[in-house]
Structure 1
Amino acid sequence: MWASSRCAKDLCKNYNFDRSKYRLCVKEKRFAAITRSDFAKLKEDLQFLDNALKTVLAEYKDYFQERFVDGLSIRKYAVAHQLNRRSIDHLQKKFFLL
């Protein structure tokens, strides 16, 4: 599924920033500190991740939301779900390797 786990990590960790940048460009109807080609890549990355979360990564949608959109650390996510950190590390590894 993912091109590489490194690519997956980058997409996830930068999701909020990329989404904000995309929304600003759309709202302002111009490219804000971004080139036209970079905007196209940004849009493609966001669409790819959103589509993946609706299909093959659907079972990880809540995890993604809490960890990468809401910004919970692994420790806080583990506490919120009454799991140990090792379980969350394993879940994250599975998520990135899909």
Structure 2
Amino acid sequence: MARSNRKIVPESRQMINQMKYEIAAEFGLPVATGTGLAGSADTEFAGELGAYGSGGSGAEWKYMTSRENGSVGGEITKRLVAEAQKQLLL
């Protein structure tokens, strides 16, 4: 079975990307923000982020382990599922 990375809701890309960097900061992972180096105002925790990469290139993620990257992806999934469940209960 072929996998597809096609976004069902393309407009969600910005929100997911911001969530990725916020979660990385909460976990104390050293990555630059998606639009620049640490200190950018794009995310709430940007000041806590390290400056491994050159921001926006995605290169900063290659310095992290698979476990660290996976923990960010897993946390995004948990938060999105929790939000969907909350919306269903309303």
Superposition TM-score, scaled by structure 2 size = 0.32
Higher relative contact order (CA 8 A, sep 6+): 1
Higher fraction of helix: 1
Mark the structure with the bigger radius of gyration.
1
